[in-house]
Structure formats: structure tokens, C-alpha cells
């Protein structure tokens, strides 16, 4: 990594961090109901400015990171992915990895380290896999509730009851991801489209394909496009383009970012292509719009 000055693993304002003491870990390993799900580390970073973790040899535990707000990234064996609000990623045990927060929009995250024979079986119930290490989740309130309840209990020490709760906790959050993955089936058409629209708003800087947005709510591309236009009078990608241009107008109006920087912020590799897209939607160039406002 380049320019790592100011980056760190931990030590953030209002963070909560617990590491299982060796004596408590031994107790978990000795008990049949906890030995297969050993939660060794758990934490919460409300605004992890400068957060960076790099492990060339990986660790013995599996890691789950849940991003509630802000942005970040992770890399597994060299492949980098961007992470946004309401997204979670999995780092398998023993795999080289790195992850960190975005400089301009640091993430708010919950994270947990867990190991044991039951972990792969539980994760198999979720959308996560080695080929798909990132997923989205819908119920942030339930996630906060689960994490905060355990963090509060850990403040009272590592009793046998708490150790059992730690194992149950991981089952609960794995179940939460499983429920989120299946919940699309229970939603009506309009609700599914609204979920997709929320997803679009969360991915302005890293656009997904039309197929990605459709698949995320359980539709084929043709079904998604037809239903979107029926309910909202425009195509999905036209709506997404307007969202990006709306954000561009905000950045041009209220920041000193250059046109090139605004383009990059919204996922445009070519500033000239961004300018043409902006003019097509807004009727003037980005520079002309900035001068007008």
C-alpha cells in the first residue's frame, strides 16, 4: 500500500473492542456447545477514520465485517472490492487479506472473528461464499441490536453464560444474513423495486450492471425493466443516471472538487464522458453549471 501515514488497525473514538482471554477461550474449547463456534474478537468502530488492516498470511479465524455507514474496501489474495452502506464481507480463515476505510467517507462497522468446525456450515446458509465474499443486508436495526447486546454483556466479564451467548450470537447474525437473502420472496413488486432503488442510491460511485440490480431483488432483466417502468415511468438505468447527475450537481454546487474529481467520485473513468453525460441530462456542461450556481 502507498501513503499509509495515519492509518491504523484500532484506537478510534468511541470504539468498542473485546478479545477473548486465553482462559475463556480454553473454557469454550472444553464445552461441546461452544467448541465449534469460538468468537475470539468482536468490535464496533463508529467512524474508523484511517482504518487499515493488512495480513499477508491471514489469520486462524474467519472474519465478518458489516458496514453500516460510510465506505471502505477489502482485498482477498489481491482482488480489491469496494464496500458501501448495508454491505458485509467475509474473510475466510488462512487467506491473505487487507481492508480499510475510505479516506473521505470513513466507514462505521461491526466486525467479528470466529473459528470452529461449525463456521463453514453456518456460512453455507448465507449468500456468502469464496466466489462471492460480499453481500448486502437489509435489517441494520436487528444487526445493531445483536451486536450491542453482546458488547454490553461482555462489559460484565466472561461468565459461562456469556460464552454461550457468544456462540449463539454468531448463529443469530448468520441467520440474519440468511433471512435477508430470502426476504425478497416475501416482498411485493413495488417493495422490491424500492429495494433496488435504495441499492442504486448506495452505489452511485461504483455502478452495478442492470442484471446485478435485477438479480438482487429476484427478477430477470426484462421483468425488472418492465416493472420499474410501469411503477415509476422510466427505465432503471435512466433513473440511476439521474441519481448520479443529481449527486454531481450537489458536488459542483457545494464543494471545490474539480470536474475530474467529481467524475471519479461518481465512478466515471473518463471525465470527458462524464461531461457529455452531465450535459445530456442537465442541459449544460459541469463547468457551465458551476458558473451558473
pLDDT digits (tens, 9 = 90+) for 165-178: 898 899 888 887 86
Q: What is the pLDDT of residue 114?
A: 95
Angle value at C-alpha 117, between 114 and 118, nearest 5 degrees: 75
Global confidence as pTM: 0.61
Torsion of CA 59, 54, 262, 216, to 10 degrees: -10
Q: What is the pLDDT of residues 184-208, one digit of tens each?
A: 554 567 778 888 888 888 888 888 8
Domains located in the chain, CATH noted: 16-183 (2.60.120.280), 189-292 (1.10.10.60)
Quote the cell numbers at residue 180. Answer: 435477508
CA 248, distance to chain mean position in Å, is: 23
Torsion of CA 26, 53, 123, 79, to 10 degrees: -150
Who contacts 107 (Cβ-Cβ below 8 Å, separation ≥6)? Answer: 45, 47, 48, 51, 67, 68, 69, 70, 71, 72, 83, 101
Quote the cell numbers at residue 165. Answer: 451467548
**Are 133 and 89 contacting, i.e. CB atoms less than 8 angstroms apart?**
yes
Q: What is the pLDDT of residue 263?
A: 95
Q: What is the pLDDT of residue 8?
A: 46
Q: What is the pLDDT of residue 235?
A: 93
**Residue-by-residue pLDDT tens, the chain, 293 positions:** 333 333 445 556 678 888 889 888 888 888 877 888 999 999 999 888 889 999 998 999 999 999 988 899 999 976 788 998 888 999 999 999 999 999 888 999 999 999 999 998 888 888 888 888 988 887 777 888 889 899 888 888 888 888 888 988 998 888 878 655 555 554 567 778 888 888 888 888 888 889 988 888 888 899 999 989 887 888 999 999 989 998 999 999 989 999 999 999 999 999 999 999 999 888 899 999 998 87
Q: How many CB atoms lie within 10 A of CB 139?
A: 15
Q: What is the pLDDT of residue 98?
A: 94
**Are 107 and 151 contacting, i.e. CB atoms less than 8 angstroms apart?**
no
What strands, in cross-sheet order, belong to the sheet with 79-83? Answer: 52-55, 97-101, 72-76, 79-83
Who contacts 123 (Cβ-Cβ below 8 Å, separation ≥6)? Answer: 62, 90, 129, 174
Q: What is the pLDDT of residue 198?
A: 83
3-state class (DSSP) for residue 18: strand
Amino acid at each position: 500500500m502507498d501513503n499509509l501515514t495515519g492509518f491504523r488497525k484500532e484506537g478510534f473514538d468511541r470504539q468498542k473492542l473485546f478479545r477473548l482471554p486465553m482462559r475463556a477461550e480454553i473454557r469454550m474449547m472444553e464445552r461441546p456447545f461452544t467448541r465449534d463456534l469460538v468468537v475470539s474478537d468482536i468490535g464496533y468502530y463508529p467512524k474508523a477514520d484511517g482504518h487499515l488492516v493488512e495480513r499477508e498470511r491471514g489469520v486462524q479465524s474467519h472474519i465478518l465485517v458489516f458496514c453500516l455507514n460510510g465506505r471502505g474496501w477489502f482485498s482477498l489474495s489481491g482482488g480489491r472490492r469496494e464496500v458501501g452502506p448495508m454491505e458485509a464481507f467475509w474473510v475466510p480463515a488462512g487467506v491473505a487479506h487487507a481492508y480499510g476505510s475510505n479516506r473521505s467517507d470513513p466507514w462505521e462497522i461491526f466486525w467479528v472473528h470466529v473459528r470452529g468446525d461449525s463456521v463453514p456450515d453456518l456460512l453455507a446458509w448465507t449468500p456468502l461464499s469464496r466466489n462471492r465474499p460480499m453481500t448486502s443486508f437489509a435489517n441494520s436495526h436487528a444487526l445493531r441490536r445483536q451486536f450491542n447486546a453482546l458488547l454490553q454483556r461482555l462489559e460484565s466479564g466472561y461468565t459461562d453464560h456469556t460464552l454461550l451467548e457468544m456462540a449463539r450470537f454468531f448463529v443469530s447474525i448468520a441467520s440474519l444474513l440468511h433471512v435477508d437473502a430470502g426476504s425478497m420472496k416475501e416482498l411485493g413488486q413495488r417493495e422490491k423495486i424500492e429495494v433496488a432503488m435504495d441499492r442504486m442510491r448506495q452505489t452511485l460511485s461504483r455502478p452495478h450492471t442492470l442484471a446485478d440490480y435485477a438479480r438482487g431483488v429476484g427478477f430477470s432483466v426484462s421483468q425488472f425493466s418492465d416493472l420499474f417502468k410501469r411503477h415509476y415511468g422510466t427505465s432503471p438505468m435512466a433513473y440511476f443516471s439521474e441519481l448520479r447527475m443529481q449527486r454531481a450537481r450537489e458536488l459542483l454546487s457545494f464543494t471545490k472538487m474539480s470536474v475530474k474529481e467529481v467524475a471519479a467520485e461518481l465512478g466515471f473513468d473518463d471525465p470527458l464522458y462524464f461531461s457529455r453525460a452531465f450535459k445530456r441530462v442537465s442541459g449544460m456542461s459541469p463547468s457551465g453549471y458551476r458558473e451558473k450556481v
